[in-house]
């Protein structure tokens, strides 16, 4: 089942006896975990037990799950980091008795909600225990959200907060925070407080209120270069200096953006799809999406010249031939001239 499907059932108090959460998106895992703690235990610590399977054998956890609760009618047992589900399990000072878990997952008790959390990109699905978990447990795939799903997630969250987002505002949020769902949700709550119920988040509101990250600021610097807006570029640079960012680090971030644009342009000429580009480059899908929008503004020759300018400025600062802040401002001027 998807994360959203599992969450909907839990919120309706449709609680399963056994959950298996796996994937690398910590935001989804934490949300399901917290919802189960609230629904099953009412935040009563006496009805909750959390185990780290890198430190405790699984048979000990199963034994706890099978023990009737003393202080309530139902309890929650959470087991995290099941290394035995990996293709190459980590070496531990003890062995996990998987027979106990295999028996339990096929016939769980009715007074315990058992949760296994595997925060891994992949598990070894060939293993017997993996197959049993997928067959008998309520499974929630908690993998990083895709580009299309991210927009749907933002719109769903906005509906819950009784606000709406313009397409331009969504684009800004994607640019700034697409890699961090925790921060993205916090920003949506902040925007909702600003506009109030039935309010609309516009591009101008998002630009003025959304917290900027260093990486997103490098994207805005590139936008300023493309727009040939030197004042805007220097203003962003000054803001970054206030955030204690070093010019050399910023050169590296800008170089990454322009290298991404160049590589995407070359792959596009070879007929690669957006998905194939993302796999080939090993970057976040949004990096490819942004680069595809920008590559039309440049020829390959221009991009190569810009990358050389970045390298020359980097060398001049590191060799002490130029004062770093002045060198960076001159670089912005040269990039805008080159663009």
E strand spans, the chain:
18-22, 48-52, 75-80, 112-118, 138-141, 163-165, 199-201
pLDDT(252) > 80: yes
User: Which of 212-237 are b and which e, b meaning 16 or more Cβ less than 10 Å from the residue's Cβ?
Assistant: bbeebbbbbbbbbbbeeebebbbebb
The DSSP letter of residue 256 is H
Across 145-163, average pLDDT: 84
Instruction: Please say whether the beta carbons of 163 and 200 come within 8 A.
Output: yes
Instruction: Say what the pLDDT of residue 303 is.
Output: 93
For the chain, list the domains and their CATH numbers: 3-141 (3.40.50.300), 147-209 (1.10.8.60), 214-338 (1.20.272.10)
pLDDT tens for residues 103-131? 999 999 999 999 999 999 889 999 999 99
pLDDT tens for residues 61-100? 999 999 999 888 899 999 999 999 998 888 899 999 999 9
Q: What pLDDT band is residue 215 in, cutting at 50, 70 and 90?
A: low
pTM: 0.64
């Amino acid at each position: 089942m998807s994360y959203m499907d599992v969450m909907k059932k839990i919120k309706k108090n449709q609680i399963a006896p056994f959950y298996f959460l796996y994937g690398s998106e910590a935001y989804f895992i934490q949300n399901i975990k917290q919802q189960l703690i609230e629904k099953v235990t009412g935040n009563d610590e006496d009805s909750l037990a959390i185990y780290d399977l890198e430190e405790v054998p699984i048979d000990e956890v199963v034994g706890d799950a099978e023990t009737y609760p003393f202080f309530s009618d139902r309890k929650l047992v959470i087991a995290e980091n099941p290394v035995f589900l990996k293709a190459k399990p980590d070496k531990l000072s003890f062995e996990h008795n998987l027979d106990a878990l295999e028996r339990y997952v096929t016939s769980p008790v009715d007074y315990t909600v058992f949760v296994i959390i595997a925060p891994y990109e992949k598990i070894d699905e060939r293993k017997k225990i993996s197959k049993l978990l997928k067959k008998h447990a309520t499974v929630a795939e908690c993998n990083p959200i895709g580009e299309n799903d991210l927009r749907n997630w933002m719109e769903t969250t906005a509906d819950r907060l009784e606000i709406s987002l313009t397409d331009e505002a969504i684009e800004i949020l994607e640019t700034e925070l697409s890699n961090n769902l925790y921060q993205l949700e916090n920003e949506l709550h902040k925007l909702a407080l600003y506009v109030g119920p039935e309010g609309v988040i516009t591009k101008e509101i998002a630009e003025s209120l959304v917290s900027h990250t260093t990486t997103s600021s490098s994207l805005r610097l590139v936008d300023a270069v493309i727009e040939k807006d030197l004042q805007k570029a220097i203003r962003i640079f000054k803001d970054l200096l206030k955030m204690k960012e070093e010019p050399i680090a910023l050169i590296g971030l800008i170089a990454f953006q322009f290298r991404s644009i160049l590589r995407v342009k070359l792959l596009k000429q070879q007929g690669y799809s957006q998905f194939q580009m993302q796999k080939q480059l090993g970057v976040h899908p949004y990096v490819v999406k942004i680069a595809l929008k920008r590559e039309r503004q440049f020829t390959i020759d221009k991009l190569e010249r810009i990358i050389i300018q970045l390298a020359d400025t980097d060398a001049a600062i590191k060799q002490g031939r130029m004062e770093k802040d002045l060198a960076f401002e001159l670089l912005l001027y040269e990039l805008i001239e080159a663009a």
